[in-house]
Amino acid sequence: MAINVAKVEPTPEGESSAPQPQLTLLSKLARVQIGGPHKTSAEDLVLFTQQLALLIQTGIGLVPAIAALASQLKPGELRTVLERVRLRLEEGVGLSESLEDHTGVFNHLFTSIIRAGEASGSLQESLLRLSSIMEIQRRLRSRVREAMTYPTILTCIMAIVVAFMMIYMFPRFSDLFSGIADELPLSTRLLLASGDFLRSRWWIVVPIAFLAGVGARRLSKTEAFRERWDRLKLSLPLVGPLFTKAYMFQLFSSLGILLGSRVPHLEAIGIARKAIENARYEEFFTNLAERVEAGQGVALAFQECSFLPQTVKLMVATGETSGALDTVMARLSEHYREELESDIRKLSSMIEPIMLVIMGVLVGFVAISFIVPLFKLTRGVH
């Protein structure tokens, strides 16, 4: 595995030599899970972080900076939260403590880095690091959505075509086909029976489908199922490597930015652990925390991890020895980001022809099941 060891510097967008007169936020696209009728998008949070860093750099205090950013927003979740944060700041509460009251918008990673920046007097640098990593994560999510848009559209088209043929077209010819029922192909008989069942027994199908969905949802929340699924998805063809590299990117980007912000090792491990929801990595974080707590360092836990490449283990050991562990983590994060983006592009180019073939086979199967009986009827007439 060739890893680019060039120094990784955050390249925040939106930074200029003079403060911008209008602080605007882009349209809400990549949404995060936040309660309430108005939800805060990842783009909003990235731009808020970048603009707050810019205002602090120009010498504007926190209270007027937060007030200015809030005033530019449309009514919604983020504006309400920022107004509450401003009130807390006016009461003399620190920024990180004010943000911790709104964990639905600002997660533990965000507030921890802000707290570390406040403690070290480098709040602006912490905000720039945050905006850089958040922008990368937003861009990756956007590319995944773009890659899945085309397959989703094709799947919906296939479902509509098949449902139309089974429920509307085939029943209209059922009486016509009844005269050659013994000569009908098996595929035609199956589609006719399925269509009749769906039309006459839909009141059974709908509740069963609903109950199956509820049951699957509850099963997916059980610990045993989650652990098996977490391990299975890493070994799936095509998408397994994507999951692996996405988790590796989250691992190194979280640890890199936390250690670079001078967050204590144990606290950084606990925060990074919450960012990766996978049973396999939870075991790794447990061992990592135990080793650090015992004073044995980070490198030993990485050496004992079976799924990490040997090159990664060597780089982590070198970084810990040289005191540049955060820099090594940043470089590894950049490496896995590049590989993940490359794999997403490759998968996207592979999915399109695969979906077209599947769609062609499925529609062809339905069409042939419909056309063959018509040919038999035509021969009977002649």
Assess whether 213 and 323 both reside in one domain: yes
Assess whether 170 and 266 both reside in one domain: yes
Assess whether 223 and 364 both reside in one domain: yes
Q: Which residue, of 106, 127, 158, is where some domain finishes?
A: 106
Give CA–CA dist 259/265, Å, rounded: 7
pLDDT one-digit tens code per residue, 206-248: 899 899 999 988 988 888 888 888 888 888 888 888 889 999 9
Assess whether 228 and 365 both reside in one domain: yes
Place 312 in a pLDDT band, splitting at 50, 70 and 90.
very high
Assess whether 317 and 382 both reside in one domain: yes
Residue type present at position 286: T
Question: Does residue 94 register a pLDDT over 70?
Answer: yes
Looking at residue 31, what is its pLDDT?
31
pLDDT one-digit tens code per residue, 7-31: 333 333 333 333 333 333 323 323 3
Assess whether 186 and 63 both reside in one domain: no
The DSSP annotation for 13-56 comes to TT--SS--S--------SB----SSS--BHHHHHHHHHHHHHHH
The pLDDT of 166-189, averaged and rounded, is 75
Assess whether 98 and 235 both reside in one domain: no
Place 329 in a pLDDT band, splitting at 50, 70 and 90.
very high
| CATH of residue 46 | 1.20.81.30
Q: Provide the domain count of the chain.
A: 2
Give a yes or no: residue 111 inside a domain: no
Assess whether 151 and 101 both reside in one domain: no
Give a yes or no: residue 343 inside a domain: yes
Looking at residue 187, what is its pLDDT?
82
Looking at residue 38, what is its pLDDT?
40
Assess whether 183 and 80 both reside in one domain: no
Q: Which of 109, 100, 137 is nearest to 260 (CA)?
A: 109
The pLDDT of 142-166, averaged and rounded, is 83
Question: Does residue 93 register a pLDDT over 80?
Answer: yes
Question: Does residue 313 register a pLDDT over 90?
Answer: yes
Q: In this structure, are residues 285 and 305 in contact, taking their beta carbons and an 8 Å threshold?
A: no
Place 380 in a pLDDT band, splitting at 50, 70 and 90.
low
The pLDDT of 81-85, averaged and rounded, is 91
Question: Does residue 170 register a pLDDT over 70?
Answer: yes
The domain containing residue 101 runs over which residues?
A: 42-106
Q: What are phi and psi of 34, to 5 degrees?
A: -140, 140
Q: What is the pTM of this model?
A: 0.72
Looking at residue 381, what is its pLDDT?
54
Give a yes or no: residue 18 inside a domain: no
Question: Does residue 32 register a pLDDT over 70?
Answer: no
Assess whether 67 and 179 both reside in one domain: no
Looking at residue 35, what is its pLDDT?
30
Looking at residue 7, what is its pLDDT?
37
Give a yes or no: residue 130 inside a domain: no
Give a yes or no: residue 13 inside a domain: no
Number of Cβ atoms within 10 Å of the Cβ of 307: 11
Q: In terms of residues, how long is the chain?
A: 382
In the predicted model, what is the mean pLDDT of the chain? 81
Assess whether 69 and 159 both reside in one domain: no
The pLDDT of 99-116, averaged and rounded, is 87
Assess whether 270 and 322 both reside in one domain: yes
Give a yes or no: residue 260 inside a domain: yes
Give a yes or no: residue 10 inside a domain: no
Give a yes or no: residue 171 inside a domain: yes
Looking at residue 181, what is its pLDDT?
65
Instruction: Report residue 223 as tokens.
Output: 């610990």
Percent share of the chain, pLDDT over 90: 17
Looking at residue 375, what is its pLDDT?
80
Looking at residue 348, what is its pLDDT?
83
Place 83 in a pLDDT band, splitting at 50, 70 and 90.
very high
The pLDDT of 43-65, averaged and rounded, is 89
Give CA–CA dist 256/287, Å, rounded: 18
How many Å separate Cα 98 from the centre of its chain? 27
